[in-house]
Amino acid sequence: MNPYPMNAAEMAERGWDAVDFIIVTGDAFVDHSSFGAAIIAGVLARRGFRVGIISQPDWRNEDHFKAMGKPRLAFMVTSGNMDSMVCHYTVNKKLRRDDAYTPGGKHGKRPDRAVIVYCQMIRRVFGRIPIIIGGVEASLRRFAHYDYWQDTVRRPILTDCGADLLVYGMGEKATAEIAEALDAGLSIDDLTYIRGTGVMADSPPDEGVELPSFEAVKSDKIAFAKMAAMIYHSNDAYFDDPYYQAVGNKVFVQNPAQMPLSTMEMDDVYDYEYTGKQLSPGTMIPCYSEVRFSLTVNRGCFGNCSFCAIALHQGRMISARSEASVIKEACRMTELADFKGYIHDVGGPTANFFHPACDKQLISGVCRHRECLFPKPCPNLNIDETDYAHLLSELRALPGIKKVFIRSGIRYDYMMLDHKSRLFDDIVKYHVSGQLRVAPEHISGHVLKLMGKPDFKQYLKFVDRFNALTKKYGKNQYVVPYFISSHPGTTLADALNLALFFRDTHAIPEQVQDFYPTPGSIATAMYYTGYDPFTMQKVHVPKGREKQLQRALLQVQKPENYALVKEALLILGRKDLIGFGKESLIPPRQSLKRHSRQINHRPKQKKRKGTKNHDRTQQKRHR
């Protein structure tokens, strides 16, 4: 039997004539703690509520929303683990070929702006019934926001979808309060007080932080930038005033944030015995195969990269599980028939953030006047990764565990500051699967400053230490860096400097991430407005043709980029980089063979007898 019914027949198997809540999700439903819908379903089920699941319904077919009739208390709607627009479209606004949250990776199983579409269909079918929205799409679009795909500012999502209540951030506590209030007989219209939620009101609250109105930020980019800086602090549980924003003759009111989960509460969420069962029919969804044998150990991030919206969603304070809870889950994992002994990941948003940044945060929350790591580490920063290092050592000692990998993001600058634990040594010795992926993102100082990332010298020091430890332990391992092209503040000259770094270090990036302006991030506000929200200084924003040129410069090895790279070099007056010498980036004329040899900085060689694969071997050795 499925852990949750998905239709009337499965309700009948349980002897249910109705469910209390129906969760509608744009993802295929998997009863696993890596999926928000499964966590919320578990929160409700543990409190005795009957929960039904409608997974990836055909939004054009009313019958899909009638599968279990009308819920007793409410519908809960989420687009899934990702914003539906990011899930559908590439940074070039082209349709993606697949969907990692759908069986078989099939594309097209959810609509654009899924939260809005699902809510509108529920209203059409059931009329006046409580609808609560949550998840990433709802959370990051809770205020007026720039929408990259329409290239415009959209209203708070609660205005457009017509739901009654919005849950932002990590929703376990708010969901429990909402459910108990509705079950006690309160009207959804009366639930205007719950922390971690937002509502539409007829008038503003008596006190709070007033944001520029939707009409103001839609017509004035400076007002939008100022709003973005204000919203950045809105997910602070220690700040007791609401945030509010006028939208026409209504007001969106965000109540103060819920407190981050304590260790005991985190354990309660993840100790729930999820079945791991995929309820949606079809082959396994691609993302589940990645996370099935992974362990989530923390939430939140005090790294605060400007292109990331974790601070706005999960918050800047860290919540972590106890070692006992993680070990318990790992032991259950070893009992699965298809477990081969490899734990794919032990982490979260940032794997080595295993406790709050400082003791002060436990008393008064995060600082509003400075960051923990940027531009320099705070003197109060608690730099000690001993607990995380000990957890890894306990996991790799478990019977049935062959290898424990770390694939979550690691803040290498934080790890370099740690002189108390053996985490760096242990990661190199035990936890790298040939390649360790880290994200310096760029090499230009002014770009890194806008990103909220450390000076590039920190990355170089990290690589030197990694290589020294790799040699010490007799490993054959490499650091694979991630870089972002066309981030706000990046000029064509900055892109060229990064290309020259690749040339000089013999690096050939197979993948480059174009900056993607997603709702909620500070960098997206920079992209839209051309201003740094924190300083209100103007920022260069590469768009259109320049964006294509910058990306091409980071992958000069691709023959299809030749014309773009040449154009960029000519614009920059760097015709000297077109040639056959070691200092060149591309040859004088387009030739696939010459181009390939040029990128590898190797002169043409005659093949010798008995060396049929000589060129290929040389290329591999060079890489």
Residue 606 DSSP code: P
Structural domains in the chain, sorted by start: 8-254 (3.40.50.280), 262-271+286-433 (3.30.750.210), 437-606 (3.30.750.200)
Among residues 161, 302, 290, 137, which one has the least CA distance to residue 235?
302
In Å, what is the CA distance from 269 to each residue of 36, 38, 296, 315, 331?
11, 10, 11, 18, 17
What pLDDT shows up at residue 408? 84
User: What one-letter code names the amino acid at 443?
Assistant: I
Among residues 268, 43, 263, which one has the least CA distance to residue 174?
43
Structural element, H or E, at residue 500: helix 492-504
What pLDDT shows up at residue 289? 86
Instruction: Scan for tokens 């376990």, then name that residue.
Output: 172
Sign of CA dihedral 131, 137, 142, 148: negative
In Å, what is the CA distance from 192 to each residue of 20, 21, 74, 349, 620?
21, 20, 16, 31, 62
Strand stretches in 66-170, DSSP E: 74-78, 131-133, 145-147, 152-154, 165-167
Sign of CA dihedral 536, 538, 544, 547: negative
> How many helices (DSSP H) and strands (DSSP E) are in the chain?
26, 20
Radius of gyration of the CA atoms of the chain, in A: 26
Strand stretches in 416-517, DSSP E: 435-441, 478-485, 513-514
What pLDDT shows up at residue 590? 52
Residue 298 DSSP code: E
* Calpha distance 21→53 (Å, rounded): 9
Q: What is the DSSP string of 504-573?
A: HTT---S--EE----TT-HHHHHHHHSB-TTT--B-----HHHHHHHHHHTTTTSGGGHHHHHHHHHHTT
**pLDDT averaged per 10 residues in sequence order, the chain, 623 residues:** 94 96 97 96 97 97 97 98 96 94 93 98 97 98 98 98 97 98 98 98 97 98 98 94 97 97 96 91 87 95 92 94 98 94 95 94 91 93 96 97 92 95 96 91 96 95 96 94 96 97 87 91 98 97 96 93 96 95 86 49 41 35 32
* Calpha distance 602→592 (Å, rounded): 14
What pLDDT shows up at residue 619? 34
- pTM here is 0.91
Q: CB count, 10 Å around CB of 58?
A: 13
pLDDT in tens, 370-416: 899 999 999 999 999 999 999 999 999 999 999 999 988 899 999 99
